[in-house]
Structure 1
Amino acid sequence: MPETLITTEADTAALRQTLGDLVVASHRLTRIAARVTGSTESPATWRTLSVLQSAGPMRLGELATQSRVSQPTMTKIVRNLVDSEWVKRIADTDDARAWQIALTPRGADALQNWRDTLADALVPMFADITEEELAAMSLTVQVIASRADLSAAASAALSGR
């Protein structure tokens, strides 16, 4: 069966609605999972580690922007993450006066453990889904990940990285 691209205004409106619903559902699911785990770690901590894992080392200001927090807030987050040995400061090769923040193997492990904990917390909510629903969820993840990867690549190209 040939694939049909979205070309009409009605298709675009349906896409817009679905994407909005997806973001809301995703945020809701994340909050439910975090509440079920009982973790006291800030969501900004996990978001910061995730940004570093996907984008690599970066300066504090860029990390704050990517994590959607203020620079003073990111300074506190990074201080705590350095104390936990989840991130480290490394010399910026472009500016000897500046530092970049990098994820450590211990931080990557902590992030993976957190993701595993979230998934484990959600399994009971989805234990009754069908194989078709699981396949649809898997395909949705693949589509979103591919678009997010394209967006990250485009952003990196625009910023000269």
Structure 2
Amino acid sequence: MSTSVDLGSQLVTHAARLVRAVRRRHDLPAGVRVLSLLDELGDLGVTALARADRCSQPTMSATVRDLADDGWVVKHPDPADARATVVALTPAGRAELGRVRRRSGEAVAARLAETTHTVEDLATAVAVLRDLLDHSDPEGSHL
């Protein structure tokens, strides 16, 4: 019988594998993770974005520059520090993120259709994942 620790480990492993499988199926634009981070966390400075994405500041600077060139993000002065800037999604960036998420949903739906699982099963899986991500640990931080 599986324990919650065993099942939790399997959940993380299989969720990561599913994300990688969807990414392999679609040629996702570089920087889509950054668009998603900005959608989740709001406007952030380059250093905070690098920390959130677990990459170096120079790598994030280059990614932000490329995303700005594509019109998907803008940099504007940080209202809390006139010397700094923050990065924000543009309407075009939100549209691109929506397009990527729709394509990902289509890929998952196609895989679901090849199984015996139902849309209700998928809804339960989504609800569990959402609850796990929304639930803070005792120290007040998320997973």
TM-score computed with the length of structure 1 as normaliser = 0.76
Where do 1:34-73 residues align within 5 Å? 34-37=23-26, 39=27, 41-42=29-30, 45-73=31-59
Distance in 2 of aligned mates of 1:20 and 1:155: 19
State the match for 2:91 in structure 1.
105
Kindly indicate whether the alpha-carbon contact (under 8 Å) linking 2:32 and 2:97 is maintained by their aligned counterparts in 1: yes
SS at match of 1:41: coil
Amino acid at match of 2:7: T
- Deviations 1:80-123 (CA, angstroms, capped at 9, x unpaired): 00001111101111100000111111101101101111222232
CA distance in 1, matches of 2:107, 2:129: 22
Equivalent residues, number = 140
Structure 1 runs not aligned, ≥5 long: 1-9, 157-161
The Cα of 1:134 is off from its aligned counterpart by 2.8
Structure-2-length-normalised TM-score: 0.85
Q: 1:33 aligns with which of 22, 42, 45?
A: 22
1:137 aligns with 2:125: no
Give 5+ residue unaligned stretches, structure 2: none
- Structure 1 counterpart of 2:33, one-letter code: R
The 1:62/1:141 distance shift into structure 2, 3 A limit, reads same
Partner secondary structure for residue 43 of structure 2:
coil
- How far the C-alpha of 1:23 sits from its partner, in A, is 1.4
Q: Does the 8 A contact of 2:28 with 2:100 survive in 1? A: no
The alignment's C-alpha RMSD in Å is: 2.3
Structure with the largest fraction of helix:
1
Matched, 1:148 2:133: yes
- Identity among equivalent positions (%) equals 32
